[in-house]
Amino acid sequence: MEIYLDNSATTRVLPEVKDLVVRAMTEDYGNPSSMHRKGVEAEQYVRRAREQIAATLKASEREIFFTSGGTESDNWALVGGAMANRRKGRHIITTAIEHPAVIQPLMLLKELGFDVTFLPVDGHGLVDPAAVAEALREDTILVSVMYVNNEVGAMEPVEEIGRIVKAFDPSILFHVDAVQAYGKTEVIPRRIRADLISVSGHKIHAPKGTGFLYVREKTKIRPIILGGGQQGGMRSGTDNVPGIAGLGLAASIACADIEAKAGQMRALRDRLAAGIADIPDVRINSGSGEQSAPHILNASFTGIRSEVLLHALEDKGISVSAGSACSTNKKLPVSPVLKELGLEKKHLESALRFSFSTLNTEQEVDETVRALHELVPVLRRYTRH
């Protein structure tokens, strides 16, 4: 029995999405920039996907730009947004637990002369909106806060932060990395007052290498990929028609009955948390309730290194993660996110992330709980002290 509990790393492509992608690759394979019939057919896939995604955001189709995924969307939002507004100022605000796809572009901007403020978070991974308000300055041009943290599932108060930012200065760009939020909770740009929102396809059962950036109309942002002038000159490069088609369908499916789906995932998450609660020396690092995402549970199994328990579970057909999968470093460095939460070393070194999708079942959770009850005492017995 294969049990896949690493859906925050990537998800399995839905069968109907796969079928649409294959059709766009093998039958309607034209270049959407071409004027002949094959090109028009391909363009219709792109147009339909843009309509589907805009509907999920209650946004205009003109505000949707397709990218290669969350990393490109984050890079474009930050670098393109900062460069377009640098005459107004060079101050940027973010949090200390952002994804590397946000942190690294901001480090580049620092090298280019921008001033970046990294705000701390509390023990649950939440940034204080009052700290954002205090950090705002006359030369602030961009605020970037993730919607859901990818390691512990903290749901940041982006709606309140958006109100604070826009009340201070409506011209400040507000960017929200919604890679772990989209398809798990309603993401409505107007509600959170976001100018830029990043989304990745492979987190919502679409193909890898797909994503989009929501850009509010009249937002000042420079393109960072230049060439043939596709997507109105905002993001050049031949459209990935099969991927875009799959992304549109997956987005439509993920956001339909979203509250019911979120409730299903939260029930599985809570079932796992309750099932491991009576294992001695287990620490739940994720929060609970509305301030925590429905699909992520991070827990430390004190006395066992993360990679040891991860591989022991893998031997039983259970796939989990030891932090973010968005790194080529397989040696599992200590998570900077968990360090920011103030965890002790013993908890940092023993943390695992379990992440769910609607494809998971109660039976899979119960089997995982049984495996952990069996493995943890045995592995602790053989741990060197």
Shared-domain flag, residues 251 and 264: no
pLDDT at 332: 53
Of 220, 255, 290, the domain-final residue: 255
Alpha-carbon distance 11 to 205, whole Å?
A: 5
Q: Give the DSSP letter of residue 78.
A: I
Shared-domain flag, residues 241 and 270: no
Judge whether residue 69 has pLDDT over 80. Answer: yes
Judge whether residue 324 has pLDDT over 60. Answer: no
What mean pLDDT comes out for the span 219-224? 98
Shared-domain flag, residues 197 and 321: no
Shared-domain flag, residues 121 and 238: yes
Shared-domain flag, residues 69 and 147: yes
What does each C-alpha distance from 83 to 75, 217, 218, 237 come to in angstroms?
Answer: 12, 18, 16, 21
Alpha-carbon distance 63 to 226, whole Å?
A: 19
Please list the residues that pair with 148 across neighbouring strands: 155
Q: How many CA atoms lie within 13 A of 78 on its CB side?
A: 33
* Dihedral sign for Cα atoms in the order 42, 60, 72, 156: negative
Of 255, 278, 311, the domain-final residue: 255
What does each C-alpha distance from 121 to 91, 184, 222, 326 come to in angstroms?
Answer: 20, 22, 31, 21
Least confident range of 81-90, 196-205, 330-339: 330-339
Alpha helices in the chain (DSSP H): 15-26, 37-57, 70-75, 81-84, 100-111, 129-135, 158-168, 189-192, 241-255, 258-276, 306-315, 336-340, 345-348, 362-381
pTM here is 0.96
Confidence of residue 385 (pLDDT cuts 50, 70, 90): very low
Shared-domain flag, residues 111 and 26: yes
Shared-domain flag, residues 34 and 180: yes
Q: Look up the CATH number of the domain holding residue 120.
A: 3.40.640.10
pLDDT at 1: 82
Judge whether residue 323 has pLDDT over 80. Answer: no
Alpha-carbon distance 30 to 327, whole Å?
A: 34
pLDDT by residue (tens digit) across 340-362?
999 999 999 999 999 999 999 99
Shared-domain flag, residues 149 and 270: no
Shared-domain flag, residues 280 and 297: yes
Q: SS3 for 186? A: coil
pLDDT at 242: 98
Burial (CB < 10 A; 0-12, 13-18, 19+), residue 11, is buried
- Residues 368 and 353: beta-carbon distance below 8 Å: no
Q: Look up the CATH number of the domain holding residue 368.
A: 3.90.1150.10
The 91-95 sheet, strands edge to edge = 64-67, 211-215, 196-200, 173-177, 140-144, 91-95, 115-119
- Residues 343 and 284: beta-carbon distance below 8 Å: no
Domain with 290, as residue range(s), is 3-11+257-381
Confidence of residue 276 (pLDDT cuts 50, 70, 90): very high
Q: What is the mean pLDDT of the chain?
A: 95
pLDDT at 288: 86
Residues with Cβ within 8 Å of residue 17, at least 6 apart in sequence: 205, 206, 207, 246, 249, 250, 253
**Annotated catalytic residue, options 83, 267, 326, 379:** 326
Counted domains in the chain:
2
What mean pLDDT comes out for the span 55-64? 98
Of 351, 357, 350, nearest to 3 by C-alpha is: 357
Task: Kindly state the percentage of the chain with pLDDT values over 70.
Answer: 96
Let me know if 255 is a catalytic residue.
no
Of 227, 255, 283, the domain-final residue: 255
What mean pLDDT comes out for the span 197-205? 98
Shared-domain flag, residues 182 and 288: no
Confidence of residue 328 (pLDDT cuts 50, 70, 90): very low
Shared-domain flag, residues 236 and 139: yes
What mean pLDDT comes out for the span 26-51? 93
What mean pLDDT comes out for the span 282-293? 92
Of 134, 122, 130, nearest to 96 by C-alpha is: 122
Shared-domain flag, residues 261 and 183: no
Of 150, 146, 151, 171, nearest to 161 by C-alpha is: 146
